[in-house]
Structure 1
């Protein structure tokens, strides 16, 4: 697929010309350092970098530079979701982390989606609903190790639902984030894989989404609600809750 894309084929060519490792080696190291199973390895490498870790970090920096050179853009959205990515980026850029948190109910509700393979619709393979136990354990583990990797790095938490309600809020967090792009919509002309939203010509934030849990059974809803109550720092931003309620004239 990369070779058929006018942008990514050029990016890869420029990148590999300067990268200390080839594409296959980069893929191997991505699995070595950017999986949940690799958490201990990556933590050790963050403190005492190995040769593999240094090569992976340098190659990642070269990839970003290749993207800038080919596209002429100076703002790159890295949509990587693994907490281990923080350790990699912290070695190559002046890093600030925005930790986007979604409550357990919302994550579990999304995990219960299922699709059959439909290439034209953007589903390259069957996508069965995920198990409740695995989803909630992953939710806890990913948030926990994100907190660990954030140690020593400037960071802020953003609540998923608060962001949907007020997308302009994220523009206030960093002067490089342009709010009009977020609120008016964007296109993903050269996105080769990922969410099926990429197939739409114009992608916009829909504030009505993310607040319904229709896929959850009563038991699933109760279990996830207990986690949200026990772990409010990952499910509810107290400061933003106060601000939103104050805007609506609601007294807490």
Structure 2
């Protein structure tokens, strides 16, 4: 199941909850394995440097043996061919030699994940819709698409809080302006919506707000869509989940949390967001606000 959408939409907690069910393995943002995992050396969700994670070392060995693709080359393939603007052609067009090479690499990788973990369902929260498009061309898999949406004003507020990367490298921060965040929100959601045609009967849209209101029902509906049993799941009650340790690649710093977690809507934006950013986001996102069930007043 590939989770697509724009960042700060709740994909990390959804990903970690999926991982806490039997027969499910969440990769986190698998798209970034080559750059953030192998080139930069960020931590796996289990807390150790990616290169030292026994699970991922086993997966990479099963996929490629001693012929691991050059990470820099794979990143270059991503830059050349797996761009968001290429999404539709990757789903139904003729693949270039570079795109086919990338597909072959990821086919080996996904099959190795299934082999090593024994999971019936693999959850990839990369969010990049072009990556989801390639899944429709991947032999030996049954792909599902989860389109995650959150109120664009909440997303804008989150991007403006200058959240640091998970390892706080060099004290750097990640910030998006209201205009940039909302334009990306519009583009990602429009492209992901169009892509659902390539997943007939195997796609769903989940609003962050609906997930936060009833997380257990939201997750188990999705597991039912994918044909995965949800019995003996990780929910202690309807809104408290017992997260297992995970092996996620990249994502929100909350991916490192496990144990009992209360799932609550993050709605700080309602009282904290200044009028200017809210007006900008509302005006730009206007065409899609009603479509996704969000109020249009500022």
Instruction: Flag whether TM exceeds 0.5 (same fold).
Output: yes
- How many residues in Structure 1 have an aligned counterpart in Structure 2? 232
1:187 to 244, 266, 280: 244
Residues 161-201 of structure 1 deviation map (CA, whole Å, 9 limit, x = unaligned): 01110111331232326373365232344335331112223
Q: Which structure is higher in RCO with an 8 Å CA cutoff and minimum separation 6? A: 2
Q: Distance between the aligned counterparts of 1:177 and 1:102, measured in 2?
A: 27
Name the structure with the higher strand share: 2
Corresponding position: 1:95 with 2:143: yes
1:202 to 259, 263, 273: 259
Residues 1:235 and 1:114: Cα distance change in structure 2 (over 3 Å) = same
Which position in structure 1 is the counterpart of 2:180?
134
Please tell me the root mean square deviation across aligned C-alpha atoms, in Å: 2.9
User: Could you tell me whether the CA contact under 8 Å between 1:114 and 1:128 is conserved in 2?
Assistant: yes
**Superposition map of 1:218-233 within 5 A:** 218-227=275-284, 229-232=286-289
- Unaligned ranges ≥5, structure 1: 239-252
Which position in structure 2 is the counterpart of 1:67?
113
Which moves more between the two structures, 15-24 or 90-99?
15-24
Q: Distance between the aligned counterparts of 1:194 and 1:169, measured in 2?
A: 21
Residues 1:18 and 1:103: Cα distance change in structure 2 (over 3 Å) = farther
Q: Distance between the aligned counterparts of 2:168 and 2:291, measured in 1?
A: 30
Larger radius of gyration: 1
Q: Distance between the aligned counterparts of 1:25 and 1:228, measured in 2?
A: 37
User: Could you tell me whether the CA contact under 8 Å between 1:170 and 1:177 is conserved in 2?
Assistant: no
Query: What's the CA shift for 1:14?
Result: 1.8
- Residue aligned with 1:185, SS: strand
- Unaligned ranges ≥5, structure 2: 1-48
Which position in structure 1 is the counterpart of 2:30?
none
Query: What's the CA shift for 1:80?
Result: 0.8
Residues 1:110 and 1:22: Cα distance change in structure 2 (over 3 Å) = same
**Superposition map of 1:71-82 within 5 A:** 71-82=117-128
Structure 1-normalised TM-score?
Answer: 0.78
Residues 1:128 and 1:170: Cα distance change in structure 2 (over 3 Å) = closer
Query: What's the CA shift for 1:218?
Result: 0.9
Structure 2-normalised TM-score?
Answer: 0.67
Which position in structure 2 is the counterpart of 1:58?
104
Query: What's the CA shift for 1:116?
Result: 5.5
